[in-house]
Amino acid sequence: MARRTQVAIVGAGPSGLLLGQLLARAGIDNVIVERQSGDYVLGRIRAGVLEQTTADLLDEAGVGARMHAEGLVHDGFELCFGGARHRIDLAGHTGGKHVIVYGQTEVTRDLMAARSAAGLPTVYGAKDVAPHHFDGDSPYLTYTHDGQPQELRADFIAGCDGYHGACRAAVPPAALSIFEKVYPFGWLGILADTPPVSHELIYSNHERGFALCSMRSPTRTRYYVQCSLHDKVEDWSDDAFWDELRRRLDPRAAETLVTGPSIEKSIAPLRSFVAEPMRFGSMFLAGDAAHIVPPTGAKGLNLAASDVRILSRALVEHYRDHSDAGIERYSERCLARVWKAERFSWWFTSLTHKFPDTGAIGARLQRAELDYLVSSQAATTVMAENYVGLPFDG
């Protein structure tokens, strides 16, 4: 069976759903094709720190009401090292900018609800999705749904289908430049219905390894500890996790930490990854399909939203103004922002984690840089500007 749309979007994660919502509000027809079920997509536990530009884009898409009602506005965060915490005043160093703690699952839920309410088409459970002829002017997708072969013809294809998705995999290897760094550790994360140990995030540099205290709400917490790539989730009981987290915090936080049974526990490897370019004829890559950052800087979802912002405006310009200037510059504009975020995430990871090959001198150099960071107005401003999100080029 064949059907037609203006923009075929592969992937119903937040980037694909957000793109679909923005295009629909501009009167551009689109269909989203997703290989997983809707319940599976909603069940994925991901990041939850939104830059101001991401929050503004959700407002533009008409899905920001619950974020503003339930999200937690943060004007700063804390760096913990040497047994003491030091606050980074985001608002004070950026002219009042802040971030909003609001889980990616909730962003996805809001976008799903808006798409369903508008009656916009989403195909869940699509198997063997593949893009074709994107190097010409007649691209299309093929997939199987409910055991039947399907074909979706479009003017453009947006690959919002993640690191393991079909769209980047369909690009000839010779047309791609891949840049990648795999870090020699992972993050063991735990989700629990406990009150946060602090009303702001705590990033901890400790001789035993990195730790992060985050939250999803005033009653739900998300904590992480750096772990070996050889560790398995079943190696870590809840008690073992809480004990290790306490060891990596300052005495006040360790004493007031409220523990409880885990709702979810997982280990995530860390990598920096960029695929260039991000446009191939009439197919665009967005979000994790094109780039991955370590979660230390909370840039993954925000970079995906940045790509979507640039792409949605380029497509609106194409259909409304009959201009392809935005399309021609899509990859260039995205990558300029991507590489700045990659640099920040790599630097923040290098500053806060224990690396197996740097030894005692590495730890001393980290401590010196942390001391400088919290004592220098210039250095703190650089940190704050990058954390809240750098401005767009236009």
342 and 285 share a domain? Answer: yes
Q: Is 253 part of any domain?
A: yes
Burial code of 83-112, b = ≥16 C-beta within 10 A, e = fewer?
A: eebeebebbbbbeebbbbbbbbbbbbbbbb
187 and 162 share a domain? Answer: no
141 and 62 share a domain? Answer: yes
Q: Is 301 part of any domain?
A: yes
142 and 164 share a domain? Answer: yes
Residue-range definition of the domain harbouring residue 265? 183-270+354-388
275 and 141 share a domain? Answer: yes
Q: Is 80 part of any domain?
A: no
Q: Is 93 part of any domain?
A: no
The CATH number of residue 375's host domain is 3.30.9.10
Whether residue 277 is preceded by a cis peptide bond, meaning omega within 30 degrees of 0, is: yes
Residue whose pair of structure tokens reads 């947006």 in the numeric block? 158
Q: Is 83 part of any domain?
A: no
322 and 371 share a domain? Answer: no
126 and 44 share a domain? Answer: yes
Give me the active site residues, please.
74, 203, 295, 299, 387
State the distance between the two ends of the chain, measured CA to CA, in whole angstroms. Answer: 42
| Structural domain count of the chain | 2
Supply φ then ψ for residue 2, to 5 degrees.
-115, 145
The CATH number of residue 314's host domain is 3.50.50.60
131 and 217 share a domain? Answer: no
130 and 36 share a domain? Answer: yes
175 and 109 share a domain? Answer: yes
160 and 238 share a domain? Answer: no
> What is the per-residue pLDDT for 261?
97
Burial class (CB in 10 A: 0-12, 13-18, 19+), 337: buried
Consecutive H or E run containing 177: strand 177-192
115 and 141 share a domain? Answer: yes
Mean pLDDT of residues grouped by 10 in the chain (394 residues)?
92 97 98 94 81 95 96 97 97 96 93 96 97 93 96 98 97 97 97 96 97 94 96 96 98 97 95 98 98 94 97 98 97 97 97 93 96 98 96 72
